[in-house]
Structure formats: structure tokens, C-alpha cells
Amino acid sequence: MGTAVAKQDRIGARVPHEVYETLCRAAELTGATVNQFLVQAALKEAQEVIEREEGNTMSSARTLGHRLLKPLLLLLLCVSMGAWAQECIDLPSKGQTVYVPVYSTIHHGNLDSSGKADSDLMSVLVSVRNTDPKESIRVMSAPYYSTDGKLIRDYLPAPRVVPPFGTLELFVERRESQGGSGANFVVRWEAEKADKPVTPPIIEALHTRFQAGRTLGFISRGKAISAP
């Protein structure tokens, strides 16, 4: 097998005699040939130049980073505040489709030998609250779906107008057992006047169960999933 030979390049230069004598003297003092001394000295200088220039580049980058840090933090703060403001104050809308989680059945306790937990049926009051102080909204439909995503029935067979600060209520009886723990309403509403967006309504589901010695109640809130 052949032995690999490292690739070598040649560097040549003409210098004044005085410079040549100085180089020869320095090489002699270090115990190296002139060529070896030149290569070692040039390599050392080259490494120092590289380290110095790269250090300057990194320093410049750090300086630039410090200069950009403040405006970036301000930008992030503005974005965060904007998102917070948008979450707290909903923008006017001409209508939405809102998904409302419903737990007509809740499971609790431990699993039995068949892998089933104890369960209780809940009554559910869904309220659609018009938060606009001046304009009415029209609730177009409110289909009720089971845990399996099957339509049980539409609780609103005809559109209903809800006046400013008014509330539309839909009630799921406790004896209703088809919905299950993953039931849901899909409420579709529109602004009564198409050219006047309104503040979106608050749509919530109040779950309750009252019996001797125990009362259970909680609220789930709707989430807009599309605009008309």
C-alpha cells in the first residue's frame, strides 16, 4: 500500500539584502533554517491576525446584539400586550361558529372489573349572552352532538334574535343520557345588521347536579372555531 503524501505549496519572495541578513540572523538564533523561520513566523502572525479579526467580528456582533436587544424586547412586549388586549377585549365581528363543550355525563371514582368508572348525569344550561350594548344578534342554529360526534338534535329549530344585553338559554335535562362526557353544542350566530359588526357574545354551559348531601356545579366556555 502506498503512503499518503501531504500536499505542499511553495511560497517565494524577493527581499532587500539587509532584510535577508536580519532574517538569517534571527533564524540562526532560533536554530532553524531561514525557510523554517519564515514559515513559523508567518504562521504565528497569520494566526494572531485571524484571532484578532474574528474577535473583532464577534465583539461587533455582541455590540450589535446589545443594540438590538432593547428594541426586540420592546417589540415582544408590544406583541404580548397586543395578544393580551385582544384576549381580554374581543374585536367586533359579523358572526361566528362557536364550539361549546358539554359534560352531560361525568365519570369519577375508580374503575370496576369491566373497566368502567362511576358516572353521574348532569343538567346543563347553555347561555348565549349578547354583550353588545346597541346591536342585536341572531342565533341561527344550535345543534347538539354526542361524544361520538353524532347529531342528537338541534335545540334551535328556527333562528332567534337576542337584543342588546339579552340572553338566549338552551337547557339539557339531566335525564338526557345520549350526549355523554364529550357532548357539545355548535352555536352559529350572526349580527342582525350585516353592515354593523358587534362585540361577540359570551357563550357558556353551566353544569349542575343537586342531590341530598352533595352539590356539583361548573362552567365550560365556548370557543369560536370559524367566522361566517
CA distances from 174 to 12, 23, 201 (A): 98, 102, 26
pLDDT of residue 48: 79
- On whether both 77 and 107 belong to a single domain, the answer is no
pLDDT score of 116 more than 60: yes
The residue among 88, 120, 149 that closes a domain is 88
| SS3 sequence of the chain | CCCCCCCCCCCCCCCCHHHHHHHHHHHHHHCCCHHHHHHHHHHHHHHHHHHHHHHHHHHHHHHHHHHHHHHHHHHHHHHHHHHHHHHHCCCCECEEEEEEEECCEEEECCCCCCCCCEEEECEEEEEEECCCCCCCEEEEECEEECCCCCEEEECCCCCEEECCCCEEEEEECCCCCCCCCCEEEEEEEEECCCCCCECCCEEEEEEEEEECCEEEEEEEECEEEECC
CA 137, CA 156: separation in Å to the nearest integer?
Answer: 15
CA distances from 118 to 25, 96, 110, 113, 211 (A): 98, 37, 7, 12, 16
Query: 141 versus 214: which is more confidently predicted?
Result: 141
Query: Would 106 be classed as within a structural domain?
Result: yes
- On whether both 111 and 191 belong to a single domain, the answer is yes
Least trusted range by pLDDT, from 36-40, 85-89, 174-178: 85-89
Confidence of residue 86 (pLDDT cuts 50, 70, 90): low
pLDDT of residue 36: 73
The residue among 42, 71, 88 that closes a domain is 88
pLDDT of residue 150: 95
Q: Which residue shows C-alpha cell 358516572?
A: 119
Query: 115 versus 61: which is more confidently predicted?
Result: 115
CA 180, CA 144: separation in Å to the nearest integer?
Answer: 11
Domain range for 28 is 17-88
CA 121, CA 126: separation in Å to the nearest integer?
Answer: 16
- On whether both 84 and 108 belong to a single domain, the answer is no
Query: 145 versus 21: which is more confidently predicted?
Result: 145
Average pLDDT of the residues of the chain: 81
pLDDT of residue 96: 96
pLDDT of residue 18: 75
Confidence of residue 46 (pLDDT cuts 50, 70, 90): confident
| Mean pLDDT of the 146-159 span | 94
- On whether both 82 and 123 belong to a single domain, the answer is no
> pLDDT > 70: what percent of the chain?
75
